Structure 1
Amino acid sequence: MTSAPSELEKMTAGQWYSCLDPELDAMRARAHDAVYEHSLLSPDDRGDIAPKLRALFASCAEDARIETRFHCAYGVNITLGHGVFINVGCTILDTALVSIGDHSMLGPNVQIYCAQHHKDPELRKQHLEIGLPVTIGKNVWIGGGAIILPGVCIGDDAIVGAGSVVTKDVAPGVTVVGNPARVI
C-alpha cells in the first residue's frame, strides 16, 4: 500500500496542497533564517548574497547580486543567472520554480508570486494553493514596484514598466506597462 503524497510532494508536482504543513513550515523557517542573515551582515561580510541564502537557492551564479530587504518563501525554487541584479525590497513567493535569466534586473520592491490560492471559498478555508512557475528570460528589466503573477513567462529582452501588474506572458523584446500590463 502506497502512502499519500506529502504536501511538499504535491507542491513540487504542481498539485493543490495545504500550505499549513510542518515540513513546509520548517522549510520556510530555514528561508527566513537565511534572509535574516542576508539582512544583518555588513556588506563586506555579506558580499553579493549572504552564504546561507546563496546555499538555499536551487542555483545561483557567482556574480548575481541581491540588495538587502529581500524576502523569499522557500528559496529552494529560485534560480539566478549570471549578472542578475535584484534591488531593495524584492519579494519572491517561490512555491514553484522562479527562474531569472542572465543579466536581468529587478527594480526596488518587485514582487513575484507563484502561489495561487483556491478560488472556491470552502477549499480556500482549507489553505489550499497551487504553485505556478514564473520564468524571467535573459536581459529583462522589471521596473520598481512591478508585480508578476503566478504562471507568467517574460521573454528575453523585455521591459516591464514600474508599477505594472503582469497577469499574462510577455513576448521577447516588448515593453509592457499598466494594470494589467499591456504592450506599448
Structure 2
Amino acid sequence: MTDAHQEEVLGRIAKGLVYTESEAAFLAPRRRAEQIFEYNRTPPGQEDRRRSLLVEILGSVGERTVLLPPFHAGFGSNVHIGDDFFGNVNLTFVDDVDIHIGDGVMIAPSVTLTTTGHPVHPSRRADFGRFSEPIVIEDKVWIGSNVVVLPGVRVGYGSVIGAGSVVSRTIPPMTVALGAPCRVVRPITDEDLTTRGAL
C-alpha cells in the first residue's frame, strides 16, 4: 500500500467512515498482543513488572494506575489513561482509534469500551468492514459492572454509569445514567455527600 493510500485510509478512519480489515492492515505493528498476554500472566507480587508492561502497552498512562488482569485490547497503544485509575478484571478496550480516560476514573468488572462498530447492511461488512470513533471518559467517572460504551461516546466529569448499561450517546457531567439504552436519571448533588446515594 502506498503512503498516499495509507493517508486516505487514515482520513476515512478519522471521519468515522467505513474501512476494511485489509485497508487497515498497515496499522498492525501498533498492536501490543504479546505484551498484553504477558501482563495478564504476571504474578500479583510483580507490581514493577506490571507497571513497565503497562507503559509499553498503552499510548500513555498516569501515576498510581491499577489495571487488574486479565484485560483485553485490540491495540492497547490507542488507550490513554490518567492518574489514579482503577480498572477491575475483564476490562476490554476495542481501541481501533483513541480511548481517553481521565484522572480518578473507576471501572468495575467486565466493562467493554468499543470505538468500533459495523455497518448494518451485510454487503458493507465484507472484509470486516467497520467504522471507528473515539471514546472519552472524563475525570472522576465511575462505570458499573457489565457496561458497554459504544463508539463516539463522551462520559462527562463525575458521572456514574449504572451496571449493565449500554451507553450509545454522550452523558453530561455530574449525572447518574443507566439502562439500555443508557439515559440520565438524575443529577449528582450535594445531598449525595451525606448519603450512600441511590441510582
**For residues 22 and 5 of structure 1, do their structure 2 counterparts lie closer, same or farther at Cα, with a shift above 3 Å needed?**
closer
Q: Distance in 2 between matches of 1:27 and 1:39?
A: 19
Residue correspondences, number: 182
Q: Distance in 2 between matches of 1:168 and 1:6?
A: 29
**Paired position in structure 1 for 2:68:** 67
Unaligned runs of 5+ in 1: none
**Paired position in structure 2 for 1:23:** 26
Q: Distance in 1 between matches of 2:160 and 2:48?
A: 28
**Paired position in structure 2 for 1:116:** 117
Q: Distance in 1 between matches of 2:45 and 2:12?
A: 37
Once the two structures are TM-superposed, the CA of residue 13 in structure 1 deviates from its matched residue by 2.9
Matches within 5 A, 1:25-174: 25-28=28-31, 31-47=32-48, 49-174=50-175
**For residues 64 and 11 of structure 1, do their structure 2 counterparts lie closer, same or farther at Cα, with a shift above 3 Å needed?**
farther
Q: Distance in 1 between matches of 2:12 and 2:60?
A: 19
Provide runs of 4+ in structure 1 moved above 6 Å. Answer: none
**For residues 173 and 166 of structure 1, do their structure 2 counterparts lie closer, same or farther at Cα, with a shift above 3 Å needed?**
same
TM-score scaled by structure 1?
0.89
Once the two structures are TM-superposed, the CA of residue 24 in structure 1 deviates from its matched residue by 3.6
**For residues 112 and 33 of structure 1, do their structure 2 counterparts lie closer, same or farther at Cα, with a shift above 3 Å needed?**
same
Q: Distance in 1 between matches of 2:81 and 2:170?
A: 19
Please list the CA deviations of residues 83-116 of structure 1 after superposition, one character each: whole Å capped at 9, or x if unmatched. 0111001001001110111000000001000012
Once the two structures are TM-superposed, the CA of residue 137 in structure 1 deviates from its matched residue by 0.5
> Greater CA radius of gyration, 1 or 2?
2
Q: Distance in 1 between matches of 2:147 and 2:107?
A: 9
| Secondary structure, aligned partner of 2:131 | strand
Once the two structures are TM-superposed, the CA of residue 2 in structure 1 deviates from its matched residue by 7.0
Structure 1 stretch displaced more, 5-14 or 127-136: 5-14
Structure 1 stretch displaced more, 103-112 or 52-61: 52-61
Structure 1 stretch displaced more, 76-85 or 11-20: 11-20
Q: Which amino acid aligns with 1:96?
A: V
TM-score scaled by structure 2?
0.82
- Asked whether the 8 Å contact 1:11–1:95 carries over to 2, the reply is no
Unaligned runs of 5+ in 2: 186-199
- Asked whether the 8 Å contact 1:83–1:104 carries over to 2, the reply is yes
- Asked whether the 8 Å contact 1:80–1:100 carries over to 2, the reply is yes
Please list the CA deviations of residues 44-82 of structure 1 after superposition, one character each: whole Å capped at 9, or x if unmatched. 224484423322211100211100010011011111001
Once the two structures are TM-superposed, the CA of residue 139 in structure 1 deviates from its matched residue by 0.3
Q: Distance in 2 between matches of 1:68 and 1:118?
A: 32
